Structure 1
Amino acid sequence: MLKRFFDSALIKFALAGVVNTLADYSVYYFVAYYIFDADGHNIAKGVGAAIGITSAFILNSLWVFRQNFMSEYGLRHTRGRKRMYVATSFGKMFLTYSIGMALNIFSFSVLYQSGRFPEIVCLVAATAVSMVFNFVFTKKLVYSTKISRR
């Protein structure tokens, strides 16, 4: 039962998200407090989220949606077509996560600038908004197996 729970795509996505979020937050705090000296919160959030996107593509392709990714990858017989598939998949992931990142930054900015919430609450809430968006669109757009097979 526990194995089936951890085999769920949503659970794997959430666990991968923890890793991506730790990368995001670590970069955020480093950029915000060591590079901009606590004045560049929005820029720092964007840089952290961009690192998270790259981490997400790697983890989602190789672990969360591995079966979908590898079955589609295996359909391409030439090296060039395989590279094109990976590049196209990354492009779709980048587009999806860029929109998610915009939602993340917007949510963070609204909450943080309101002054009513601690910084960590703003970070967690912004992450939750983008996580829901990213899961739905990653599953349907990036790793859908309904791609035409040529």
Structure 2
Amino acid sequence: MAKQPLEFIKFSLVGAVNTLIDFTVFTVLSNMGVLLLVAQCVSYTCGVLNSFLLNRTWTFRGRGQYSGQWIRFLVLNLGTLTITYGILVYLHDYLVWPILVSKLLATGVSLVINFMGSRVLVFS
């Protein structure tokens, strides 16, 4: 199997775990009445921490300077968080879609952005 498709499969599996973590934390915080922005940032951060560790060690077998990869990974995910929060707010607040449907679509967008960014910018 070619390297890129195998990496995408591994990245997607890691993403599934990250998404489970993200959605669980988001749901708990949302049900507690935590502001949407705070719930999104906290839940997304929990997924990001897991993502970095699993993708560095398993998906991309990261070699090289840990701190440099960590900084690039954080910058990538901060950008992704900004984009996905915008999508989340637009779908939920302006189109009045259910919050978890909005979150699911925003998460799909983040999968594509993060895979390409991780492969090209972070763990290359």
Output the amino acid matched with 2:39: A
Which of 49, 59, 64 pairs up with 1:54? 49
Output the amino acid matched with 1:63: W
Q: Distance in 1 between matches of 2:78 and 2:45?
A: 8
TM-score (norm 2): 0.90
Give the number of aligned pairs: 122
2:116 equivalent in structure 1: 136
2:36 equivalent in structure 1: 41
- 1:45 CA drift (Å): 0.8
TM-score (norm 1): 0.75
1:89 equivalent in structure 2: 69
Mark the runs of 5 or more structure 2 residues left unpaired by the alignment: none
Q: Distance in 1 between matches of 2:88 and 2:38?
A: 12
Provide the identity percentage.
27
1:116 is paired with a residue whose SS is: coil
Mark the runs of 5 or more structure 1 residues left unpaired by the alignment: 74-84, 145-150
Which of 104, 107, 111 pairs up with 1:124? 104
When Rg is computed on C-alpha atoms for both structures, the one with the higher figure is 1
